Structure 1
Amino acid sequence: MMNLLKVDTTFKLLKNSILCFLMFLNTAVFSQNKPIESSSKTNNLSTEITENELLKIANDCVATKEYVKAELIISKNYSRFSESLNVNWLYAHLLSINNNKKEAEIKFKKAISIAPNTLNLEKDYARFLYEMGEIKKVESILDRIIDENSKDAEFLLIQAYLNFWNGDVKSSEAKIARIKEIYPNTAITKSLEEQINELISARVNVNFEYQSDSQPLQYFAHHLAAGQYISKYFNPEIAISTYHFSPEKDLASIVTLSNQIRFYKLKLKVNIHGGVYINLSDKSDWIGGVSLHKDIIKNISVNLGYSKKEVLGTIVSTTFNLTRQDAFGELDYFNKWIILHGGYNQQFYKDGNEIKLIGGWLVSQPINIRNFNFQAGYGYNFSDSKDILFIYDNNGLGVYNPYFTPREQEIHSALFIANYNPTKKLNLQAKVNYGIQATVQNPYPIEVTPNNFEIGGFYDENFKYTEIEGSINYTFSNNFRMSANYINQETFFYNRNNFNLELNYTF
C-alpha cells in the first residue's frame, strides 16, 4: 500500500494533450498572433523572438516528443519572459518530464504566483505533486479545488488513492462509487478496488518448518496465523506455533495476539504483540513487545522497540522455559543508488547476563535485466556477551550452556541477492552472505582439579561464515500463494539447514 501508484495511463496522455491545448489557448488569448517568419528562427532564436513565437516553437517540439530540445529553447529565452504565466507553466511541465523535479516545482510555484487560482494550472501542479509522492501537498490542493459534486474522474481517483494510502478505506470506496456513478462502465478503478479487497480480506498463513543442526538438534514446527484489517487502528492477528524437538523429546508451544496501529499524519506505525510461551518440560511464561516505526524524512526511517521472546537455539534451551528481553533500534536509508540498514540490539537474560549486537548492511538498488534483477553489497556484524557460558565435561570438551554467548565475534561479509521472474506467477530468489573475514575470542580450558575444567582464557579464532538462502514463490490466484524456502548457514556455533513451506490464503 505504501508504494505510490500513478494514475491510469489514459490520464497521463490526457494530461499532455490538455497542457499543449492550454498553451495554445492561453497564447491566443493573452498575446498577438504573429506568423513565424522562417524555420531558421527556430534554430537561431534571436533576441527579437516574441513570447508567442517561443511558445509555438516549444509546443511544436512537445508535439513531436522532443522534450529536451523544448526545455533548452525555453531556458535560453527564459530571462526575457520570466514573468510570463505561459512560459513558466510550460517550462515547469518540461522540467518535470525531463526529471528535473526540483526546478519544475519552482517554476510551478512561479506560475501560480503570477496567476493565482488558475484552475487548470493548479490541477497540473497537483498531478506533478502526485507523481512525486507529495501526498500532503496534493491533499491541500484537491481539498480546495475538488468538491463533492465534481465530475472530474481523474482527480476523484487521485483522492480515492490518497484516502486509501491514509488508511481511510470507507472514504476511498465512496470516491470509487462516485466515479462509477458518473461513468458506470469505467475500468479505471479496478486496480484500486483489487488493492482494497486484498487489504481488508481475512488472511490465513500456514507454515511447516524443519531444521537440523550440528549440535545435533532437530525440530519440526508448524505455524498458523490468521488476521484481518479492520481499520488503521485495528489490524488484529493471532498466531500459534508448535515445536517438536529431537534428540530430547521436548515440546513447546507459542500463542500470540498482535495488532498494528497506523498514524498516517505522523508517519508512524505501532506494532504491539503479547502472548504465552509454553514449554511442556517446564513452566509457562509471558512473551510480547512493542515497536515504533517512524518515517523521519522521505528516505529515512527508524524502528525502536522492546520485546520478550523465547530462546530455542541450543539443546539445553529446549528442555526448560528460557526467555530473553531485547531493546533495539534500527535505521533505514535509501536513495536511487543504495539501500542501507543499521541496528543495535541489547539482550537481557534472567541470569543477569547481557549480549550486545551491532550490525548493518549496504546493498545496491536492484539492477534489472529483463526478468532478472540482482543486488550486491557488504554486511557487518559484531556481538559480545558480558558473561561466557561455556562448560566442560570430564574430558575437557566444552559446549555453550544454556545459550550461545559470543565474545567479540566480528563478521565482515559480501552480499549478493538475485531475483528471477520467468512468468508473472513464478518468482525465484537467491541470497548469498559470504564471510570475507570472521573472528571470535574462543575459550580454552584449564584443569583446576583432576577431570574438572574451567575457562582458562581466550584466543583469536578465525572461522568460516556463510549463509545461502533460496526460495520459490508461486501465485496460484489473487487469493492463494505458496512459498518454499531453504537456508544453509555455517557459523562459529553450529551449521544448520532449515526448510519451510508457507501457504497464504485470503478470503
Structure 2
Amino acid sequence: MKNQLLTTILMLFIFFTGYAQDIAITDTIEYARSKAYQKDFAEADRLLSSYSKSNTDINALRLHAQVLYWMKEFDRSAMIYENALKAFPDVTVVKLDYGRMLWELNKLPKATLLLNDYLATDKQNAEANILLAYINYWKGDIKTAKDKLATVLLYYPHNETALAIWKEINEATAPFLKVGGNYASDDQPLKKAGFSAEAGWYKSRWFSPDVRFDSYQSNAEGSTYNSFWVQAGNKLFIGHSGLILNFKGGLFSHATGQNALFTGAGAVTLKLSKAISLSAGTERLPYQYTITSIKIPVMEQLSSIAINLNKNNKWLGKAAFELQGFDDLNKIQTAYLWLLIPVIDKNNFKLKTGYAFNYSNADKNTFTASQPLSTLIATTTVGSAVAGYYNPYFTPSKQTVHSLLAAAEIQFSKNVKFTSRASVGVVAHAYNPELILNKNPGNIFSINKTYINQSYTPIDFNNELNIKLSKRISSAVQYGYSRLLFYTINQGSIHLKYAFINDNKK
C-alpha cells in the first residue's frame, strides 16, 4: 500500500512537472512574440536565445529568425533558418519563411531553390508562386513567370497581386510602336524640330530588339539644316544575377551630304539589391546643341558609370561620373549626385524633395571669337571685349552647382497622370571665358582669353502629362524650360504609343 502511494505520487509529480514545463515553454515563446509585436526586438532576441540553449522548438526558431530579420541581423537570421531546416526537415513552411527573407534581400538563386522545394509539397500556395513569378520576371524569364501566375489564378482567380503582375508583364513585354514630334528654341538663337518613330518587341530574355528613327530640322542664322539618325538594338537579361546588357548600333546622316557616320552604344546594369544597382556604358552619338554642330557633324563618345537608388519608387538617387570625348581629343569630365526623399506619399499625390550636386570641367575651352582677327583689328579698340561663341561644342570651366530639387506626381484618375520636376541652383559658379583684343609692344595683335568666376542661378523645370487613351493606346505631352550658363531653352514634345497587348492567360 505504501509502495502504491509512492508510485502514484511520483507519477503525478512527473505529469505535473511536464505539464508545467509545457506551459513554461508556451509562455516563453508567446511572451517573446508579444515583445516582438511591441517592437522590443532586443528583448525578444534575448528571450529566444536563452530559451534555445536548452530547447529545440520549431515555433521558437521561426519566431527568432523573423525577429532577427526585423533587427536587420540577416546573417544570424539565416543561421537560425539553416538550423531549423536541419532539425525539422519535414516542416516545409520553414522553406517558405526562409525563401521569403532571401527574396527580400535579393538573394534570388537560393530563394528560388527554397521556394521551388516548398511548392513540391504545396503547389497551390499563392505567396510562393508570386515570389517566384517576380524572380523570373526580373531575370527576363517571362514564360516561367507567367506559368507561376497562371497557377495562382487557377486556384485564386481574383488574387489582386497576381492580376497586377500579369498586367504589368503584358504591358512591359508587348510589342509596341511609338511616334512623336518635338520642338526646341533657345537664345543662341537656334530652333529645332524633330520627328521620331520607335518600335520594340520582347521575345525572350535573350532577344528584345528595338529600332528607332529620328529626323531633325534645325534653323539658325537664316539657314535650314537637316539630319537623320537610325538605330537598332537588343537587350539581354542574364540569369539570376540581375545583369542586363544593352547594345545599339546605327547611322547618322548630316546635312553636309558626306558619308553616314557610325553610332553605337553598349551598357550594363547589375542589380545589387532590391533598391541599389550599378550601371556603366559608353555611346558614340551626334552632338547637336550648338549652331556650329548643326552646320557640320560633331560626334562625341559619352562614357559613364553610376550607382543608382530606387527604394520602392520612394527614395530615389544617383551618383555618377561621365566622360565626354571628342574627335579633337578634348575631354569633358562631369561628376554629379542627386537624392530625392518622399515628403507626401498619397495614392493620388506624391511629393519628393532633395538635393543635387554637379561639377564639370573641360581639358580645353572652345570659346572662340565670332570674327576673324583681321576684322577685329579694324573694328575693335585694343583692350575691349570681343564677342565669341562655343565652336563646335560647349565646354564648362570648373562649373560647380548645388541645387534644391522637387518632384511632384498627381494621379488625376486611373488613366491620367501629371508629373513635374524642378531644380534650382542655390549656389552655382563657373569660370566663364572672356575674350580681349590685345596688342603687344611689337604691335602684334592677339586675342587673349581670360576667365571670370561668375555666379549664376541655373533653373531646370520639366512637366509631363500622361494619358491612357485606351487599353493599348497612350500619349505623353512634355514641356521643359532650362536656364543654364550656356543658354536658355524652351522645348516640348508629344508622343503616341500603341502596345499590341495580348490578354490571353496562356
Q: TM-score range by the shorter chain?
A: 0.7 to 0.9
Does the C-alpha gap of structure 1 residues 422 and 233 become closer, same or farther in structure 2, counting only changes over 3 Å? same
TM-score (norm 2): 0.80
Indicate the SS of the match to 1:459.
strand
Tell me what 1:51 maps to.
Answer: 25
* CA offset digits 1:144-181 (Å, max 9, x no partner): 34349944454344333332222112223334445566
Tell me what 1:420 maps to.
Answer: 410
Give 1 or 2 for the bigger CA radius of gyration: 2
Indicate the SS of the match to 1:249.
strand
Does the C-alpha gap of structure 1 residues 32 and 348 become closer, same or farther in structure 2, counting only changes over 3 Å? farther
Aligned residues of 1:282 and 1:320 also touching (Cα < 8 A): no
Q: State the shift of 1:470 in Å.
A: 1.9
For the aligned residue pairs, the C-alpha RMSD in angstroms reads 3.5
2:390 equivalent among 400, 403, 422? 400
2:248 equivalent among 254, 273, 285? 273
1:485 equivalent among 478, 482, 496? 478
Q: Does 1:348 align with 2:325?
A: yes
* CA offset digits 1:85-121 (Å, max 9, x no partner): 2342352375279575636545433433432342232
Tell me what 1:496 maps to.
Answer: 489
Q: State the shift of 1:54 in Å.
A: 3.3
Tell me what 2:108 maps to.
Answer: 135
For 1:243 and 1:143, the matched residues in 2 are separated by 52
Tell me what 2:93 maps to.
Answer: 120
Higher alpha-carbon deviation: 301-310 or 247-256: 301-310
Can you give the 5+ residue segments of structure 2 that lack an aligned partner in the other structure?
1-13, 381-385, 501-506
Tell me what 2:455 maps to.
Answer: 462
Q: State the shift of 1:201 in Å.
A: 1.1
Indicate the SS of the match to 2:427.
strand
TM-score (norm 1): 0.80
Aligned residues of 1:258 and 1:274 also touching (Cα < 8 A): yes
Does the C-alpha gap of structure 1 residues 193 and 437 become closer, same or farther in structure 2, counting only changes over 3 Å? closer
Q: Does 1:263 align with 2:238?
A: yes
Does the C-alpha gap of structure 1 residues 479 and 104 become closer, same or farther in structure 2, counting only changes over 3 Å? farther
For 1:32 and 1:123, the matched residues in 2 are separated by 36
Indicate the SS of the match to 1:344.
strand
Tell me what 1:194 maps to.
Answer: 167
* CA offset digits 1:52-81 (Å, max 9, x no partner): 33346667x69xx95648995685465134
Counterparts of 1:233-244 in structure 2, within 5 Å, are 233-244=206-217
Aligned residues of 1:439 and 1:461 also touching (Cα < 8 A): yes
AA aligned to 2:64 is: A
Does the C-alpha gap of structure 1 residues 73 and 95 become closer, same or farther in structure 2, counting only changes over 3 Å? closer
Tell me what 2:335 maps to.
Answer: 359
Tell me what 2:359 maps to.
Answer: 381
Can you give the 5+ residue segments of structure 1 that lack an aligned partner in the other structure?
1-30, 38-46
For 2:266 and 2:254, the matched residues in 1 are separated by 23
Counterparts of 1:77-476 in structure 2, within 5 Å, are 78-82=49-53, 83-92=55-64, 95=67, 102=74, 104-147=77-120, 150-179=123-152, 183=155, 185=157, 187=159, 189-247=162-220, 248-283=223-258, 284-296=260-272, 299-333=275-309, 339-350=316-327, 352-370=328-346, 371-393=349-371, 394=376, 395=380, 396-447=386-437, 454-476=447-469
Aligned residues of 2:456 and 2:485 also touching (Cα < 8 A): yes
Q: State the shift of 1:309 in Å.
A: 0.7
For 2:244 and 2:425, the matched residues in 1 are separated by 34
Does the C-alpha gap of structure 1 residues 167 and 341 become closer, same or farther in structure 2, counting only changes over 3 Å? same
Between the aligned residues of both structures, percent identity stands at: 19
* CA offset digits 1:177-212 (Å, max 9, x no partner): 45566x385656423322332233111222221100
For 1:439 and 1:34, the matched residues in 2 are separated by 80
Q: RCO (CA 8 Å, sep 6+): is it higher in 1 or 2?
A: 2
Counterparts of 1:64-75 in structure 2, within 5 Å, are 68=39, 75=46
Does the C-alpha gap of structure 1 residues 363 and 289 become closer, same or farther in structure 2, counting only changes over 3 Å? same
AA aligned to 1:490 is: R
